[in-house]
Structure 1
Amino acid sequence: MTEKFPDTVTVSPVGSMDLLSQLEVAKLRDVGRGDLRERLRRCALAVLNTGSQLDDARAVFERYADFRIELLQVERGIRLRLQNAPAQAFVDGELIHGIREHLFAVLRDVVYVSNEIEGRNGLDTPAAMTDAVFQILRNARVLKTRTPPDLVVCWGGHSIGREEYDFSKSVGYHLGLRGLNICTGCGPGAMKGPMKGAAVAHAKQRIRDGRYVGVTEPGIIAAEPPNPLVNELVIMPDIEKRLEAFTRFGHGIIVFPGGAGTTEELFYVLGILLNPANRELPFPLVLAGPGSAAPYFEQVDRFLRGTIGPEATQRYQVILDDAERVARVMRRGLAEVKEYRRDKGDAWFFNWRLRVEADFQQPFLPTHEAMAALDLSREQPPHQLAANLRRAFSGIVAGNVKDEGIRRIEEHGPFELRGDREIMDLMDALLQAFVAQHRMRLPGFEYRPCYRLVA
């Protein structure tokens, strides 16, 4: 039975929207128009549904189909009125404070993107795309201009076992003991573990301003709602800008075991680093897990070598069963980043020198036609193949957990991916392993492949 909060609740703003002019409020009330209103409703529902055991966005939206959110204008600014919200967001009739912060972060980012980014003339060049990412992060007040490199991005699956979760938490703990902060995709599993470990370590070190930054986007937020440790939430408009935000905003990346989404992230960062323009750029990248994850990383490494080549494997190292070593390696890597940016006069808070080509920036809509048209052959430079493989895994993620992707699969059947036989065989082996290890969906849910591979 679905539990909903029985009363209508009015919520006052906190966080970065606690001081607004009347003109700003008037612009916000314009959120009532069409698709923008629905985007706000869905993202708001996702943050109110934190802790849910559902990773199917469509199921979440159907369960709370009667959830409503309304903007109210008052003399001192703006309020939100909620109806039929998930009950777990409340304690003794009061909205949990962290969820309240997340709710207004959603309002801030969804409306800012709609008013200032979408429809902007000239948003079709790499420089303009990067500028949009910068402006969204700046508006969210997450760019710290006087802080040396200390933000570690942690990627990994939302559906992982206890041993892998505990290892990610241990890595976060050792990062936190060294005064480092955490940025993740903000969901459960390997996104929550590092934040939880770092929070304990920060408490031991009496660090009272520890940062647990969550970066998400409207398509995935319902399937991976922000975990309660996130104290800075940013909603990017699409997966491509979300991924660019990670690589521009973070100073190093740790990749824990995961599924199709984690593989998408790996192809994104490796595709960028394989660009000759980024060859000399220091960017610490560590693949880490418990000893039991050795077969997982061996298969991932085999897939990367067999698709984009051995050069890609020179940009990362694999560390197993040694969380403290992961933290030490990352801290040394961040010291190199600091020295490089200081020597080049680059900003600490945003990686302007990183070259990100249009293939990695243009939003990819995973329709059946677009997925079938992807070039998954070796007759292209490795970084371009990485861009297309990134799109392929992005489509699989959409078909697995995103509302629109699930509906496309139900209507037209599985996505079809075509490519060289060796690439398809490697992809098939990797995806079959993900299915067997329950990395595609949370345990307890039957997984039906949303893809078909054709050599």
Structure 2
Amino acid sequence: MKSTGKDLPRHATASARISPANGLDVLSRNEVTRLRDASQRGLHALLRRCALAVLTQGVETDDARALLDRYPDFDIQVLQQDRGIKLELTHAPAQAFVDGRIIRGVNELLFAVLRDIVYVATQIEAGGFDLDDSSGITHAVFEILRNARVLRPHLDPNLVVCWGGHSIARHEYDYTKKVGYHLGLRGLDICTGCGPGAMKGPMKGAIIGHTKQRRKSNRYIGITEPGIIAAESPNPAVNHLIIMPDIEKRLEAFVRVGHGIIVFPGGVGTAEEILYMLGILLHPDNAGIPFPLIFTGPSESAAYFQQIDKFLRLALGDEAAKRYSIVIDDPPEVARQMLKGIDKVREYRLDSKDAFFFNWALKIQHEFQVPFRPTHENMASLNLHRNQPSHRLAADLRRAFSGIVAGNVKEEGLRAIEQHGLFEIHGEPEIMRALDALLRSFVDQHRMKLPGGSAYKPCYRVVVD
């Protein structure tokens, strides 16, 4: 069972110096100085937070602050040496070690954290790309992924992105494993948000499918971002970890590298992802681009997708429903549909001369790329009315759900709610009533949770204009 919250006991710790394992092994003096800098302008706090999440993989908590409370003395320092770099871990979670040696997979993910933090700080945030331009943002996403070496140029399309809740019922989790198993039997690789629940299950299932087929060099890619990694620590199946600088670039990375998406049951974070994907697919420029999108879950979760479908049709119209299919309680059919969809993606990429490893053709508008700050003012000013193109409405609906996610689990959002009270969400009456009903259903189905596992108290108030 899951244990969460600040009642978690302090656990055993260990200290060690570790060398890179298939990861970054050379840094400049300036980069090392920034990584050791604990001031607000330095990178040490970010490195410490992300590293602790990796070291505690398997410990599931919704609270980004709880892990630091459990390991208040934990520290990580980058050491520059004659033969490269080492990481010095002090009072690190003992679960990351076996007989005094760090687990190899944990080692690899730690240096992936280091790699991405350094690259984003020195290339992306340092002005190497025009982040006020849509094309510049896409190129930044491409370069982060290329630097992480997850773009494989000689592979046919086979990467399935799986979205869904990190805290789901056992029968839903078991179902995600069954779907992953059938995907693995068909030679498909898995990409998720890297955490537990619906992000872990498909990878575990695919491992068995791949093993039965004697398939090697399998990819279990986890894409996360600093604001959520502590609440969704990487699961042990992840063998490629990428930390994007914010949620919008994380979402774009999924869409650019994936060849199809499967959505499992979840909560507001999953609804945010659905609206992001549909907002892109509904843009007129993307009308002819194939991109399989399947919603699926066990029979007990049918009502969840019925409610999602009803809300999407009301807010975005029946055109939106044409871009996804719903398959209930049939893992083999999910895998078959996804494989057929990816075959169409392959044919389209060949005809259009687009790369297999990065979806350049798909147009992603600037409003889907700009980081949304979940302030009270920004939440209240969202345009949630149908007197605009459906893809633009989807963009602001996505932001509304993003703000609720932040208010539930992210440090920035938690502070805003503590200081200024509930977010207010305004909009067209019919949409607001449907939104309120959808969110209430999430609460009733225990899909809305708070850090510590306490009874859910909304961080938002839906206001009918």
TM over 0.5: yes
Q: Does 1:115 align with 2:119?
A: no
Q: Which digits, 9 at most, give the CA deviation of each residue in 1:245-280, with x for residues without a partner?
A: 000010000000000000000000000000000000
**Hey, what does 1:99 align to over in structure 2?**
106
Aligned to 2:256: 248
In the other structure, the counterpart of 1:429 is 437
Query: What percentage of aligned pairs have identical amino acids?
Result: 60
Alignment partners' CA distance in 1, 2:229 and 2:274: 20
Matches of 1:430 and 1:3, distance apart in 2: 38
> TM-score, length-normalised on structure 1?
0.97
Separation in structure 2 between the aligned mates of residue 65 and residue 408 of structure 1, nearest angstrom: 24
Quote the residue 2:462 is aligned against: 453
3-state DSSP of counterpart to 1:194: helix
Please state whether the residue corresponding to 1:254 is helix, strand or coil: strand
Task: Map 1:266-345 onto structure 2 (within 5 A).
Answer: 266-345=274-353
What is the aligned partner in structure 2 of residue 395 from structure 1?
403
Q: Which moved more, 1:425-434 or 1:238-247?
A: 425-434
Contact persistence 1:16–1:141 (CA under 8 A)? no
From 37, 41, 54, the equivalent of 1:47 is 54
- Say whether the 8 Å CA contact 1:159–1:440 is kept in structure 2: no
Structure 2 unmatched ranges of 5 or more? 1-7
Matches within 5 A, 1:207-218: 207-218=215-226
Q: Which residue of 2 aligns with 1:379?
A: 387
**Residue 163 of structure 1 aligns with which residue?**
171
- TM (norm. structure 2) is 0.95
Partner of 2:208: 200
Q: Does 1:191 align with 2:195?
A: no
Structure 1 residues 364-419: Cα deviation after superposition (integer angstroms, max 9, x where no partner) = 11011111111111121110010001111011111111112111111111111111
Residue 361 of structure 1: aligned partner: 369
Q: For the structure 1 residues 176 and 25, does the alpha-carbon distance in structure 2 shift closer, same or farther, using more than 3 Å as the test?
A: farther
Match in the other structure for 1:142 = 150
How far has the Cα of 1:86 moved from its partner? 2.1
- Partner Cα separation in structure 1 for residue 284 and residue 197 of structure 2: 34
Displacement of 1:54 in angstroms is 1.4
User: 1:210: how far off?
Assistant: 1.0
Whether the 8 Å contact between 1:159 and 1:438 is mirrored in structure 2 is no
* Deviation of the 1:5 alpha carbon: 4.1
Tell me, in whole angstroms, the C-alpha distance in 2 between the residues paired with 1:450 and 1:126: 31
* 2:67 pairs with 1:60: yes
Q: Output the amino acid matched with 2:253.
A: A
Count, aligned residues: 452
Q: What CA deviation, in whole Å up to 9, does each residue of 1:105-143 have, x standing for no partner?
A: 100001100000013152211100000000000000000
Secondary structure of the 1:363 match is coil
Q: Which runs of 5+ in 1 are unaligned?
A: none
2:26 corresponds to 1:11:
no
Bigger mean CA deviation after superposition, 400-409 or 387-396 = 400-409
Cα deviation, 1:30-78, whole Å, max 9, x if unaligned, reads 3233342211111111111211131111222333232211111111111
Question: 1:422 and 1:376 mapped to 2: Cα distance?
Answer: 10
> Over aligned residue pairs, what C-alpha RMSD do you find?
1.4
Q: 1:437 offset after TM fit, Å?
A: 1.3
CA distance in 2, matches of 1:301, 1:372: 25
The separation in 1 between residues aligned to 2:411 and 2:353, in whole angstroms, is 44
**CA offsets, 1:287-317, max 9 Å, x none?**
0111111111000000101111111000000
